[in-house]
Amino acid sequence: MKKAKKPTILAVDDTPDILHLVMELLHKDYTLKLINDPKKALELLQTNPDIDLILLDVMMPVMDGYELCKIIKSNPHYEKVPVIFLTALEKMSDVVRGFESGAADYVTKPFVPDVLRARVKTHVERKQAYDALSRELEAKEEMLFKQSRMSVLGEMFENVTHQWKQPLSIINVGCSTLKMSYEFDELTMDEVITTVDMITAESEYLSQTIDDFRDFAREDNERELFDMRTLFEHALEILSFRLSKIEIEVSNGIKSFKYRSCKNYIIQVFINILNNAMDILEKSGKGWIKASSRVEDDFFVVSICDSGGGIKAEDISSIFEKYVTTKEEKDGAGLGLYMTKEILQKKVDAEIAAHNEEEGACFEIRFKFAYAEGFDNATV
């Protein structure tokens, strides 16, 4: 059975006797990193080692513990790592200052060994519980990403099978016609060439649909260059089978704009928003969805609006929260728009917001110019 890894504690104190005492008290249960210089401590932390708790002296030369704690807490890697001050200062103002700088607790010098051990044990266990919960939440979030993706893949597969029906029918008719002409001795070279050309063209179309499906099924996060307008058109193609069943007018007013990002995730976002609009519009069987774009500050903003009546005022602030659905029948899981926001924030580095306009809801996605290429403000 693999032995559990000891939690790691960083102790920073300019007094050798204190560091020696910390080592004597804690070395059996923890892996210790003992440093007597704040600057050396910062150099160590810049390499982002895994630390479960930090013991920090307050009164040190060059840089005091308050300043060092603020710097440590400004690093996202150590934002949740508890800091315990080891201090001889007992004034309430000093204690408050310690908490304001980011400390989780403090132990006064000279400290009682059992008190130090108890405080350390408590905060390390809290940190480990937090880490375990964070890992569990990350695993669940990843599962939701995959479920959302599989849902879109299923819809795309349905559309691909629908798109294949006509080309396969044309190929079948062409082959049957050739066979019949041959059996009646009426086959001409012109007919053969025309039919073969037609079969070749339809086969290339079938091959392209396979390539499109395979391209979207890729799960890598590689950023690639694409045209935003063309990408929205591709999302509409994926949904063409569903769109053909209802009387909805869809217009793509997104300007041509070269962007480098995770293309498939943005397609998924477009599909989620379009599906959300179609869920509403299917009730009346008619309506419209309009996509447009504009430049605003340092962002390329894509808007997707519909004529579905809008979002209730009380739902606007929570529409992107997990398990929240605005569908009256409550037949949705409330994950579509939540996953849309998560994908944009975590995979694309973009933001989304929703508001109501005169006839319905409008979703706006703000893409950063930092990922644009060949941008011309006059043409977008």
Helix/strand/coil percentages in the chain, nearest 5: 50, 20, 30
Given pLDDT bands bounded at 50, 70 and 90, which one contains residue 184?
Answer: confident
Q: Is 322 left (phi over 0), alpha (psi -120 to 50) or beta?
A: beta
Cα gap 305→255, rounded to integer Å: 16
List the structure tokens of 352.
Answer: 């989304």
Residue-wise pLDDT for 356-373, tens only, equals 998 899 999 999 988 887
Q: Decide: 106 and 87 in contact? Cβ < 8 Å.
A: yes
Mean pLDDT of 344-355: 90
Give the per-residue pLDDT at 267: 86
Mean pLDDT of 175-202: 86
Q: Between these two residues, 226 and 378, which has the higher pLDDT value?
A: 226
Q: Between these two residues, 251 and 99, which has the higher pLDDT value?
A: 251
Q: Which domains does the chain have, with CATH numbers?
A: 8-111 (3.40.50.2300), 140-217 (1.10.287.130), 224-371 (3.30.565.10)
Between the two ends of the chain, the Cα-to-Cα distance in Å is 62
Mean pLDDT of 229-240: 86
Give the per-residue pLDDT at 97: 84
Percent of the chain with pLDDT over 70: 87
Q: Between these two residues, 37 and 222, which has the higher pLDDT value?
A: 37
Give the per-residue pLDDT at 2: 58
Give the per-residue pLDDT at 276: 87
Residue-wise pLDDT for 69-111, tens only, equals 999 999 988 999 999 998 877 777 777 888 888 889 988 888 8
Given pLDDT bands bounded at 50, 70 and 90, which one contains residue 374?
Answer: low
Q: Between these two residues, 292 and 210, which has the higher pLDDT value?
A: 292
3-class state of residue 162 by DSSP = helix
pLDDT of 333 > 50? The answer is: no
Mean pLDDT of 115-141: 89
pLDDT of 241 > 80? The answer is: no
Give the range with max mean pLDDT: 117-126, 175-184, 333-342.
117-126
Among the listed ranges 134-143, 156-165, 227-236, which one has the minimum average pLDDT value?
156-165
pLDDT of 34 > 90? The answer is: yes
Residue-wise pLDDT for 282-332, tens only, equals 877 789 999 999 999 889 999 999 998 888 877 777 788 765 555 554 444
Distances in Å between the Cα of 237 and the Cα atoms of 160, 241, 308, 327 are 9, 8, 22, 25
Give the per-residue pLDDT at 221: 65
Give the per-residue pLDDT at 332: 45
Give the per-residue pLDDT at 141: 75
pLDDT of 222 > 80? The answer is: no
Mean pLDDT of 146-164: 69
Distances in Å between the Cα of 213 and the Cα atoms of 154, 171, 209, 237 are 10, 21, 6, 11
Percent of the chain with pLDDT over 90: 33
pTM: 0.56
Q: Write the DSSP string, 89-156.
A: ---HHHHHHHHHTT-SEEEESSPPHHHHHHHHHHHHHHHHHHHHHHHHHHHHHHHHHHHHHHHHHHHH
3-class state of residue 290 by DSSP = strand
